[in-house]
Structures are given as C-alpha cells and as structure tokens.
Structure 1
Amino acid sequence: MNAPVTSTVARYTVAVRALCEFTAKRGDLDLRFTPAPTAQEGIAGHATVTGRRRAGYLREVSLQGEHGPLLVRGRADGYDPWRQRLEEIKTYRGDFQRIPDNHRALHWAQARIYGWLQCQTLGLARIELALVYFNIVTQKETVLDQTCDAAELREHFEQQCGLFLAWAERELAHRAARDTALVAMAFPHAAFQHGQRELAESVYKAASTGRCLMAQAPTGIGKTIGTVFPLLKAFPGQCLDKLFFLSAKTPGRQLALNVLAQLRGPAPGLPLRVLELVARDKACEHPDKACHGESCPLAQGFYDRLAAAREAALALGFMDQEAVRAAALAHGVCPYYLSQELARWSDAVVGDYNYYFDISALLYALTVANQWRVGVLVDEAHNLLERGRAMYSADLDQAEFQILRKAAPKPVKAALDKLNRAWNALHDADGAVYRVLPAVPEAFQGALQRASAAVIDYLTEYPADSDAGLQRFYFDAMHFLRLVDTFAEHSLFDVTLRAAAGRHHRQSAQLCLRNVLPAPFLAPRFAEAHCAVLFSATLSPTHFYADTLGLPTNTAWIDVQSPFSSDQLTVRLAGHISTRYPDRARSVAPIVELICAQYRQQPGNYLAFFSSFDYLQQVLAQFASDHPDIPTWSQSRGMGEEAQRQFLARFDADGQGIGFAVLGGAFAEGIDLPGSRLIGAFVATLGLPQLNPVNEQIMQRMQTIFGAGYDYTYLYPGLQKVVQAAGRVIRTRQDRGVVYLIDDRFTRRQVRALLPDWWRVERMTG
C-alpha cells in the first residue's frame, strides 16, 4: 500500500491482495512447516495452467477500480472471454484438503474483487469465478467455481473497501499532518557541529535529486542526526513514503532510535511513526513453542486480534521493541509478527542491514510490492561488504548430512544415498584439502534437486513428522540451489575436505557457494530506493566501496573534514617491530615494553588490539608476568553481551589499566569511550585478512575483475579496521590521546596514504 503520488491529491492506492489481507484475513497465525512451492515453481505452475487454455485466453489481466479516495488495482491471473470466466491460480503441493480454510477464504475474497473489476471494465452482468489449485507435483488442477452477479460482486467490493476506507482516510490524514509537521521541523540543537551542516546539506541534496551518496564523516560530528534530520526534511517535497535506517550493530540502531525520539519530541510530539525491527529470536515470547495456534497462545486467533493490536501500537507513535511487545501482549498476539505488520504503516523503520539487503528482505519486498518511495540510510557502511557477502553465500556440510542420511526415513533414504555418492565424487582424487571448481557440477545439482524433492514429498505426505533435521536440510538445499541459479563471476564454488572423524569414517567435504562480490545483488536494492546514503568514518578509497557494493555510477561523494586537530592525537609508528606471523614470537617482548612505557609515562585507560586471540594471549601472558601491578582485562572468544558490558564498564573516567582485544571485533568499532575513559590505543597488526587459500582465491578473482587483487582483498579491508580501532580514542573536540601503530609496514607510503589526513604521524626510532 502506498500513499498518494503527491501530498495534495486525496487518493490512496491499494493492491487487491493487500486490501484483502487487511479486510479478509482471519484465524490463527500458522507457521508450521508447509511445503509451499518455491517462487520459481509457482511461476512455472501458473505458466502450465495458462498454457493449457485455448487461444485467446488472456493472462495477467491488469484491473483497477475506485471507491471514494481508494484506487484499487491488481492483476488477475487469467480470463477466458468465451466463458466469461475469471481465474485465480494458486499452486500447492501435497494434500489439497490440508489447505487451511482461512487461506481459501482469502483466495475467494481476492477472486471476487477481481470479478467485480472485470465486470465493471467489460460491462458484464455476471461472471464465472474459478479458484484453480494446481498441484506442482502431480500437475493436476482442482477447480472451485461459482457464477456471480455483477451487483453481488459490487456489493462485496464496496463492503471490503468500506472496511478499509476509514483506515485509508486516517492514513491520508496522518500523512498530511506528518508532512506539514516535517516542513516546520527545526534542528533540535542551537547550531550544527563542525562538519555536520555540510553532511546534512549533502544528504538533503541527494534526496532532492534522487541520487545515492557516499559520506565519509569522522566520528564525533553527529552523523546519525546529520543524516536522519535532512532526509526527513526532504519527505514532503520528494513525496517520500518511508525512511529505513539500517545498521550492522545494535549500538547504531539505538543511536537512530534516540535521534528519532528526540525529533518527535515529548508526547504527543511530531506525528512520525517510528518502528524498531528486531530478530525473531529476540522478540519471541515462547521459544519452547511452535508458531501455530495449537501450540502458541499468541498465534491462536492472531488475525482476529491483529486490527486492535495494530491500532494500539500505531497510536503510540514511537514503537521500539518494548513498546511493540507491550501492545502485542495486551492484545494477545505475537510481538514479532505484529512488528512485521507495523512495517507497512510506519514512517521510519530502524533495523539490521538484512531487512533491506538480504535475499528475502522484508523491507525491500514491501518497497517493490507497494511501489514506495524510500530513503535508505546505511550506518557504518564499511560493514556492508562482508555482510553482503554472507547474505549471498551458502554452504553444505557433508559430515552433518551423513548423520542425517543414516537416520533418514526409508522413503527418502535412496535419494539421500544418491546425493551422498554425488558428493563423494567431488572429493579430489589427489586428496587436495581445498580447491575451487569452475561451476557446481550438473550431476551434483541434479542429485541435490532430487533429494530435496524427496524430502519435501515425504514431509508433505507425513506432516506429523516434524523432523527438524530434514526441514533444515531442505531449507539449506533450496538456498544453495537458488544461488546456483545466479552463479557467475561474482562468486566461487569451493570444496574443502575434512579429515575422517575416526578409523571407520570417510572424509567429508564442505561445499561453499562463496560470494566475493555482492555488487550484482545489492545494486537492485540501491536502484529501487529513491535515494540511499552510505555513511561511515572509513569509506576510503571511494572506488573500492563503490565497486564492491554496486553503487550507481552517478553516486555522489563527500569527505567531511574532521573537527579534530592534529594536536589532539599523537600517532606514533613503531616501525622497528614486525607483527607478521613468522615474527610474532620475537615481537612479544618489545610490544610489552612499549605498552608499559606509555602507561608508566601517562597512567590511564588504554586498548591494545591484536590480529588474533592467540596473539593477544601471548602478549597478555608476558605483560601480566612482567608487570603484574598494571591492571589488565581481556576480550575472550564467544563473548556474550553481558560479558561485553562488563569489559566496557572497566573503562570508567577514573580507571587505569589495559584492555586487550582483537582487531575487527566487538570493541574495535561502534563503542564510545570519551574523555578519560580511553586515552590511548595500541594496534599491533596491519589488520590484513588471514593469508589462506580462500583469501588467495578471492584475491585472484578481484584481480580478474578490478585489476587490484591485493588491495581489494587485503590492504583496503585491513587499514579500514585499523582506522576504526584508532578512532575509539578521540570522540570529542575536548579529547586528547595517543595511538601506536605497531608494524614496520605502517611506514610504507601506500599504507600511510590510507590514514586520515588530520593525523600527524611520528615515526619511532626503536
């Protein structure tokens, strides 16, 4: 559903399906494993059904009609002009009788809406409506039909529109009030900070011209409000529907919520609906129960109580996780799925990258379906490369599969055994532990498709068998096969052999469709947005991020001058020490003495960053042994949120000691320790990704595509982590501190050129 094209036209456009889901959806939320056809199978099924019809049969019939300020539009699946029969086609697999009654009721509601729109278009007095259920496995059609008078269908259409009309009129009024308030909205501070006005003006210009913007802006200038405020100011003039603030980490999302709360002001405040989206596992009230009405009380009758819960939540205006939870529980519905519904009606949505950029992203899908005009803000955008790669990668582990295969039920065992043999054929005869193949062999693809089909057919036939292992295998296999269909130069297919677990076990192979260049997948996301702003303190070099993220060629660039001066930060290069892997044992003692000397000279709180936990532990052990009087604390593997909070709590304003952490980890970016909470940092690594066969293959691919394999794979990502870690020291214009860059490679001209311009770097003599 989208708002009017301009704020002066009182017209609300709604899709037929969205209208019916709003007015006719009833009953339980039911997310039990139902083997629905994939999108590709659905498209193929529709093509098969319509292909069986006689010549002259009309496919994908565009229809629309009005009811007051409502414009209702959509596409009917097919129309037979000889029989005056309109068809709504639904694909399924399994037992037809297991299609829930509330699903069929929704399908009939859609068919009747389309029926009236077709009667109105052609001037028909009556029409035959048919729900055609097509089983994609048996290729058989089950048809439910009825003949309806146009007057009856018109009454149904007006009834459904009437149920939605009050809501639509309120939405139009809300949008008008919102845009009026945004025009008058003032910047919440007395003045812009240094560099903040430049950033805000660039964001507003990007929104006004419908372009993407890359903004490199230093920490401490208020990037969040410097991007959110101008984008909201652009809403009325650009007729924007939504603002999506996307971040890789919780602190960034919390900052955005704080800024939006500040802009809304005290209740009743600015009429701006703000929603926080959180992961399902964080929102679930009953993790021990399944998502259906027979198991979870918050799923039972979900759609019957949704309207009241939705209205209560939207009345709050500011819908963070706790507010959504309170509204949901007050009305007995699931908080997570209430938040999914609220995304349709919110003005500003704050969430993780995956809600817009993932392969099945909610916000992107809604944007496309409803033709929203959206402004996207990508916080700490340097993280999007690795996150994007992960979103468009898939792996299959043969060791896990073999455990599943041995316990599999008989109807699927033969197909799984054949897949295992096809898997074994990928083992290199020479025993290579790691190798890259030019493509996924067709024999393996076929075996995987047949195994998936066998599993889905079994689960369809025996729905009571909720085998979690089989379900997980099916979803993993379908994700893998979906990415096989898009396999190209942007990805690698690699095979990694694992040693046998015991004498009677064979080697197993882990298969990975490894995305190395997310640009082809992310580019459509940027193209769909009216404007997108990617901002971070580290977005250099520009071409690296533009190339790897798939930004449009007309993307604007701004490098906001730092508000900090070189006399605030002393940067020292310890070029007499090598932290390369072969030299690490020799580097421990000089690093320990360097850290100690700085601490003795100026006691206070420091962070020391290392390339790995092993390296960290070597230096920490030596440091604790040589200088037991200096307090130390350390990051550990798999550190939970509470342990992380305790680690950061050690950095109080009056504290003294050294916190040991890994570069690129939880404490190397996104944390704020101003003033005396942190007065220095030691970075004992160049930050380069590990030298291993995978990264070497990525380097070769980057060399082929961009002609700069080493820089794109190692140098640029490594230095970005170094600058982020060093950026923890100076957070305000009052801060003073010191950073030691420990490695002889920091003295190279190419490396020095990637350090911030405002740093004044001193080289230590050793």
Structure 2
Amino acid sequence: MENNEIRISIRNLVEFVLRSGDLDSRFVGTNRMLEGTKAHQKIQREGGAAYNAEVCLSYGVEFDGFAIILEGRADGIITEEDGIVIDEIKTTTRPLETIDEDYNLLHWAQAKCYAYIYAVLNNIESLNVQLTYCRIDTEERKSIRRAFSIEELKDFFYDLVGKYAVWARLTRDWSRERDTSVRELAFPFDSYRKGQRELAVAAYKTIEEGKKLFAQAPTGIGKTISTLFPAVKAMGEEHISKIFYLTAKTITRQVAEEAFSRMRSRGLKFRTITLTAKDKICFSKGAGCNPEQCQYARGHFDRVNDAIFDILSREEELTREKIEEYSEKHRICPFEYALDLTLWADCVICDYNYVFDPRVYLRRFFLNNKGDYAFLIDEAHNLVDRAREMFSAELYKSSFLELKKIMKSRQSKVAKLLSDINKYMISLRKECGEQGFLVKQEELKDLYKLLKELIKESEDWLSKNHGSEGFEQMLELYFDSIAFIRISEFYDERYVTLIETKKSEVKVKLFCVDPSHLLRESAKRGKAAVFFSATLTPISYFQYILGGGSDDYSMILPSPFIRDNLCLLIADSISTKFKNRESSYDRIVEMIKSAVEQKPGNYIVYFPSYKYLNEVYTRFAARCPDVATLVQNSSMSEEERETFLAEFKPGGEKTLIGFAVLGGIFSEGVDLKGDRLIGAVIVGVGLPQISTEQDIIMDYFQAQNSMGYEYAYMFPGMNKVLQAAGRVIRSEKDRGMVLLIDERFSHRNYRDLFPEHWCHGLRIKKADDLAKKLQSFW
C-alpha cells in the first residue's frame, strides 16, 4: 500500500522552498550557535509569565493527495492584552540599523507558518508576528512586528505547501516507477557464478535483519553486483530507504556505476549519485566559496532548486560529469549541488569518510543515528587504517610558533595563547628526551584547556579580519584545534597520546589504536552494513577490528576460477628480512629473470619499499638491458598512473616488467584482464614498516589478546600480498603465475593464512627449478 504521508519540519520546508541568494562559506565561528542559544534563552527568560517559550506545534493538511504533517517549535508565544504575538528570535553580528522589515523573508516565512498553525488550532482570527533580532556581541535588540489576519496567513501557508507539493509529487512519482521496476528486476546476468548466489542471499538477509556481514569473496565472484542487487531488492520491499556504497578509491566507484548501468539495461529505474571531493570538482580552484571570489557562489540559491528539478526530470545516473554539466548550465556550485542531490538519490556512491569520519560525515542523514540505510563497504580491508586516521588527530608545535610571530603585533591575547601552547610543547619535547618519542595513556588536559581558549579568542579575530596577514594560517590552525578537541571527546582506553620530536619540531597525536568501538558506533547511523573484500584474512580479525559483534554474520567464499589456471610458486630459500636484504638483491634479480624468460608478456614485481625496489631494479636493468621496464615512483600524478597502466597492452609478444610497491596504487584496485598481466612476483611478506605507531598497536593487542605481532604486522602484511597476487587472475579464461619470494611463506603461521585456492603452491629453491616449473605450466 502506498504511503502518501510526508512529515517535514517547518524550518526545512521554508528553507528549501524559499531559499535564495549567495553561497557564502566564509568564516563563521563554531561558538556562534552556542552564543545564539544563550541569547534565545535570555530573551525568553526576560519575557516573564506572559512569554511561553519553545512551543511545539504540529499540523496536518491534505493537499493534492498527500497527507503533509508540518512540525516545528515556536521560540515564543506571547499573551498580551491586545492578543497573541508569535515571536521568532534571530541572532546576528550585523549592526541592527542595517536590519529592516525586508531583511530576510525566510525569517518572516517561518514565523508566519507558526502563526497560522497556532491560529487554526486555537480559533484565532488575527494575531501579531514579531521578529526579534539580537546582536550577539553587544546584546542589543530590535523587534519588528506585523499584524496578520488568519486569511492572510492561510493564503501564504497554502501557497508554500503548494510549492512544496511539486517536489513531493516528483518524489512520489519516481518512487512508484522505481519500486515497480525493482519488483520486476531479475539478476542482471544469465546465471550466477560460483559463490555469487550465496553472497547475494547473505547480503539480503543481513539487510532484512539489520545486522552486519563480513564477506571474503575472491576476485571473480562479482562482489559489487552480489551486494548491490540484494540491496536494491531490499529497498523495493521497504526494508531500507537508501543505499550508501562506500569505497576507498575512484576506480571501485566506477565498478558500482557499471553495476547499476547493467541493472538499468534490464529495466531498473534507480537514481544514483557519485560524490566527488570538493577540491576535485570545484570550478574555481583556489578561490573562496563566497560571492566576491566565485561566480558560481553568487546567486547559487536563486538557481539551485531549478537545477535540481532539471536534472531529476532528465537523469538517473548522477555522475561527476553530469553534475558538472548541469552545474555549468545553471551557474551553481557543483559540490553543494551534489550534496543537495544526495537527498533525492536512491544510492549514494562515495568515500568512506562521508559515513564514518566524525569531522565530515553527512549530517543531513546521520545526525540522530535513526536512518534505515544499508551501508555496502567495498574493499573493506582498507577501512582499518582509514578508520585509525579518521579517529585520530595531531598538532605540530611549528604551527603555533610561526603564527605567534605574526599575531604578536595584531592580537595580543591570541599571541599569548599561541606562546603558551608553544611553551607547553617545548616541555613535552624535554619529556621525550633522547629517544625522541613518548607514549602516554593519560590525556593532556592542560593542552585541551589552552586549545579551547585559543579557539574562543581566535574566533573573534577571524570574524573581523578576513583576508588580512595571518588569516589563512590562523584559520587552518583554528580548524585543526577544533578537530583535535573533537577527537579528544572519543578518548578512552583504546587511545594513547603519542608525542614525537624531530629537531625542534614536536608532534602531539591522539592516536586511535583500536578503532573497533567507534566503527561499531558509526555503523549505527544506518540499519545494516555489508563489509566485503577479496582479502579479509583472517576473517575473525577483520570482524573484530571493523566493529562486528558475536551475532553478526561472516562468510568465506571459494574462488570461482579453475585452480590450475594459477601457477603458484614459493621461493623460500631467500630471506627478505631487513638484516638480509643486502645479500638478497642479486638472487631476486636471478629469480625475476628466470620467471619472465619462460613466456613473453606483462609482469609486475612488488617490493616492500621504494629503496628495495630501486636496489633490485638497478641491478636488473644492468643485467637485462633489453627488457622493457616501468618503475613506480612515490609521487605519481593520476595522469602518470594511467600512463603506467596503459603500457600493459594485450598481445603479449614482448616482455614488459612493472616494478611497483606492495600495498601501493598498483597492487590493488587494478584490473588488467586477459594477457594484460600474466605474472606477479611478490618480494617479502608485506609487513608494515616498523614504526612507533605500529609498535603501539602491537603492544596494545598483545595485552588484549596475546596477538600483538599478528594484529600490527602479520595480518595487514599478508592482506597486501593477497591483494597483489589477486591482480593476475581476473576472469575465467585468465592463466598466470605468482611467485612469492621469502622464506617466511613456508612457515606454518603464514601458510595458515593462504586462501583455499593456494593449497597447490609449490616450493622452489633455485632459479633453475623456477624455470622448469614455469616451462611445464606454460
């Protein structure tokens, strides 16, 4: 049965239907809202017994086949001898003499809606509407009052509801069309691959029951369609109202778009949007988001609703290109436009941070953790490190010292606080001593106090000194300080305070060692979550670290490909441990040479570091100067990455070897099907570099479950190895070789982490053995 009931707040209705003017993201202090609340409360208190504050109002109207329920809270209902006054309080920083009756029509609109509802509910024929403006810094007030008859208010109210009904009708008509298509949609391939149906059924059940699923599904199963298809079906049956497809990389977003294109080709009507980072989609790079600096910000709100209606009437697939096209057509900001469009989309394809990052998650959806959404988390193994980043925060001493010099002659209070924080960090540097770091379990409460004072004092300066010397540095430090304080609110036994020094620099970091709890809490923003990847090994580790519980589901699916299409060889006579690397270089060159000589084609060799890569590459190039090679470097642009991959052409008449870093941009998310890649050589077991942070993780989990080394080094490393090896066999027809070079690959604790389809791996001792095995395979 169709539900035509719409519940909307009066404020949201007014701000959407009547919005106009410029987009202006210039600095507004975070304390403004708090100060505004205090000003509201003071005015309400001073109103006395006749002032009824925060009056909840709700009113339902039948309009054009809809039951629209409008809700809101009037700041004040004042009972006077002459009648009732509806009071709407607004705080401002503007001089009050610049505010007149026509200052902001949205303020009147909101108050008039409250007035109409109150008049109808209380059978009042006329009343007064009052706007009370309070200047925050001086507490001066100005009231503007107008009398309205109930007929005037009724005409205004129903005109507003009528304008909103156009959008309600658009949504209802789309929902009907979408739900009909979902009911008729069949799986968009002729048959299921091995393991695909099991994954789809498990994903549907997880969404229906509102749980989490952790699924290891090897390359070739078709993870994206196997999670999106059941999610679409679940939405058609009203188990959820929206899908969020979350990824770490642009390339995996494209895979989701392609999956929807395939379903649309089978009749699906489904509106999807792909969010692009602000710095990438901005039309006015380097300019501020304000009408003076950006033509697309100027008058943005005058045109944005027309742009929304235009694109929704014509498009289902709201890609970056489409958003840019319509933004240019209507002369509006593409990033803000895209954020608005998420409200109308059935599936939002975006980065992890739009759901999980406490600093930037989409508050329009997730503010109260009551959303009936499905989160589909692709390449979920990447979320572990990303979560640690999102839930951590850091500050550098140099930022405070440099700004102190600028602010000394400009704002003495701010300069004094910057100086105090700089001195505090000097004291921390002394505590670190010669070892250069210090790990504390307790919080730096004195630093928090100083930062809060700095935030408060710098707000006033920032609001009055836009564009002056030191403004940009102060603004950056202001937001860094706020982020630090915000993260401090999560601080518990899963955190440590890490202080590191290098020469005169001091870094203070609130380091989230164990992100499991915060990920669990973040997942509550939706109804259900499916975490999937080709490499969630071991799955018990990922289920814990990604916030799963004992009642959630997990599954490990076998590879759908013929096992014998992969020749897996293990050169366990070579040690790549740091202390043995010097003696390994020439032996690895010999192994690479022997591997590629057995069949012309494209290969990638993966190394644990750039230093290791360069040492081996130099020797290989000298030994085999006629072999074509490509080398990854640490700062490749997107264009350079694409050029690198484009060299891996099908045909395989000549040999090409790419030298790349394990865990880098070419070791996952790269789809070189057929003979575009016929072999991979993996040097080492992928262990993260030994560092203070990794050792903190190790010590923490050693105390928790006696698996410190595994959680900090072994499991993350082995997942990098599995990802790199997964580049070779991408389809049923692919054949290829993977050579693992390291003595540890024969140790039982590593062999236990091998997937089932690696059980046929063969050990080799010398390059000659390798040549014989590969000759036999090819």
Q: TM-score, normalised by structure 1?
A: 0.91
What residue in structure 2 maps to residue 477 of structure 1? Answer: 481
How far is 1:621 from its partner?
Answer: 0.8
- Does structure 1 residue 751 correspond to structure 2 residue 746? no
* 1:134-167 Cα distance to aligned partner (Å, 9 max, x none): 6666677666555655444333322211110121
For 1:200, the equivalent position in structure 2 comes to 200
1:128 CA drift (Å):
5.5
Q: How many residues align?
A: 751
1:566-623 Cα deviation digits (max 9, x unpaired): 3121222222211111111111111111111111223322111111111110111111
Counterparts in 2 of 1:513 and 1:247: CA distance versus 1, 3 Å: same
Which residue identity is paired with 1:459? L
Q: Contact conserved, 2:271 with 2:316, CA < 8 A, in 1?
A: yes
Aligned-partner Cα distance in 2 for 1:619–1:735: 28
1:622 aligns with 2:619: yes
**Contact 1:76/1:86 (8 A) holds in 2:** no
| CA distance in structure 1 between the partners assigned to 2:583 and 2:57 by the alignment | 73
The equivalent residue for 2:182 is: 182
Question: Which segment drifts farther, 478-487 or 124-133?
Answer: 124-133
- Distance across 1 between alignment mates of 2:39 and 2:425: 30
Question: 634, 637, 641: which one pairs with 1:640?
Answer: 637
CA shift for structure 1 position 728: 0.7
Match of 1:416 in 2: 418
Three-state SS of the structure 2 residue aligned to 1:214 is strand
Aligned to 1:541: 538
Q: Following TM superposition, by how much is the alpha carbon of 1:378 offset from its aligned partner in structure 2, in angstroms? A: 1.0
Cα distance, 1:523 vs structure 2: 2.1
Say if 1:360 and 1:476 are closer, same or farther in 2 by CA, change over 3 A.
closer
Distance in 1 separating the partners of 2:207 and 2:732: 30
SS in 2 for 1:758: helix
Aligned-pair CA distance for 1:498: 2.1
| Structure-2 separation of matches of 1:707 and 1:41 | 49
User: Is 1:569 aligned to 2:563, yes or no?
Assistant: no
For the residues of structure 2 that align with 1:445 and 1:113, how far apart are their CA atoms?
A: 43
SS in 2 for 1:669: coil
Q: Which amino acid aligns with 1:20?
A: V
How much does 1:45 deviate?
Answer: 6.4
- Contact 2:242–2:374 (CA under 8 A) maintained in structure 1: yes
Is 1:63–1:114's contact at 8 Å kept on the other side of the alignment?
no
SS class of match (1:376): strand
Give secondary structure in 1 for the equivalent of 2:297.
Answer: coil
Quote the residue 2:465 is aligned against.
462
2:494 pairs with 1:490: yes
Secondary structure of the equivalent of 1:427?
helix
Would the aligned equivalents of 2:7 and 2:71 in 1 still touch at CA under 8 Å?
Answer: no
Deviation at 1:355, TM superposition (A): 1.6
Residue correspondence of structure 1 range 543-692 to structure 2 within 5 A: 543-653=540-650, 654=652, 655-692=654-691
Counterpart pick for 2:29 among 28, 35, 41: 35
Decide whether aligned partners of structure 1 residues 220 and 620 sit closer, same or farther in structure 2, where only a CA change above 3 A counts. same
- Partners of 1:222 and 1:35 in 2: CA distance: 47
Give the superposition deviation at 1:64: 4.1
Separation in structure 1 between the aligned mates of residue 46 and residue 416 of structure 2, nearest angstrom? 34
The amino acid across from 1:477 in the alignment is S
Conserved 8 A contact 2:11-2:72: no
1:49/1:709 CA distance change after superposition, 3 Å: farther
Percent identical among aligned pairs is: 33
Partners of 1:384 and 1:540 lie apart in 2 by: 14
Deviation per CA, 1:651-681: give whole Å up to 9, x if none: 1122412211111100110101122211111
What amino acid does structure 1 have at the position aligned with 2:555?
I
1:386 aligns with 385
Name which of structure 1's ranges 18-27 and 65-74 shifts more when overlaid on structure 2.
Answer: 65-74
| Alpha-carbon distance in structure 2 between the residues aligned to 1:481 and 1:171 | 40
Given that residues 492 and 515 in structure 1 are in contact (C-alpha distance below 8 angstroms), is that contact kept between their aligned partners in structure 2?
Answer: yes
Per the alignment, in what secondary structure is the counterpart of residue 637 of structure 1? coil
Determine if the alignment matches structure 1 residue 165 to structure 2 residue 165.
yes
State which of 427, 449, 452 in structure 1 corresponds to 2:452: 449
SS at match of 1:221: coil
- Structure 1: how far apart are the matches of 2:129 and 2:587? 82
In 1, the alpha carbon distance for the partners of 2:270 and 2:218 equals: 29
TM-score normalised over the length of structure 2:
0.90
Measured after TM superposition, the shift of residue 705 of structure 1 is 4.1
Runs (5+) with no aligned partner, structure 1:
1-6, 500-506
Counterpart Cα distance in 1 of 2:44 and 2:568: 70
Letter in 2 for 1:751: Y
Who is 2:772 aligned against?
Answer: none
Amino acid at match of 1:304: D
- Return the offset for 1:428: 2.5
Match of 2:154 in 1: 154
Aligned pair in 2 of structure 1 residues 77, 540: CA closer, same or farther (>3 Å)? farther
Secondary structure of the residue aligned to 1:396 is strand
Listed as ranges, the matches of 1:213-252 within 5 Å are 213-252=213-252
Give the root-mean-square deviation of aligned CA atoms.
2.8
Tell me: CA distance 1:697–1:104, structure 2 relative to 1, closer, same or farther (3 Å). farther
Q: Give 3-state SS (helix, strand or coil) of 2:687's partner.
A: coil
Does residue 439 (structure 1) correspond to residue 442 (structure 2)? The answer is yes
Please give the alpha-carbon distance, in whole angstroms, between the structure 1 residues aligned to 2:273 and 2:208.
Answer: 24
Deviation by residue 1:617-654 (Cα, 9 ceiling, x = unmatched): 01111111122222221100111111111111221122
Letter in 2 for 1:351: C
CA deviations on 1:368-389 (whole Å, 9 max, x unpaired) are 4796522221111111111112
- Cα deviations across residues 681-720 of structure 1 (Å, max 9, x unaligned)? 1111211111122211122223344443222211111111
Change (3 A) 1:48 1:355: farther
Q: 1:89 Cα shift?
A: 5.1
**C-alpha separation in 2, matches of 1:164 and 1:497:** 58
Query: Hey, what's the Cα distance between the residues in 1 that align with 2:535 and 2:519?
Result: 20
Q: Is the 8 A contact 2:369 2:525 kept in 1?
A: no
Letter in 2 for 1:451: L
> Which shifted more, 428-437 or 560-569?
428-437
Alignment CA distance shift 1:602-1:628 (3 Å): same
Whole-Å separation in 1 of the counterparts to 2:98 and 2:402: 31
AA aligned opposite 1:478? I
Q: Which amino acid aligns with 1:425?
A: S
User: Mean alpha-carbon deviation: is it higher for 257-266 or for 189-198?
Assistant: 257-266
- Following the alignment from structure 1 to structure 2, what is the Cα–Cα distance between the partners of residues 26 and 417? 44
Deviation at 1:17, TM superposition (A): 2.5
Given that residues 299 and 333 in structure 1 are in contact (C-alpha distance below 8 angstroms), is that contact kept between their aligned partners in structure 2? yes
Structure 2 residue matching 1:292: 3-state secondary structure: coil
CA contact (8 A) 1:77 1:89 kept: no
Equivalent position of 1:519 in the other structure: 516
Shift of the alpha carbon at 1:722? 0.8
Using the alignment, how far apart are the partners of 1:552 and 1:97 within structure 2?
Answer: 59
Q: 3-state SS of the aligned residue for 1:660?
A: strand
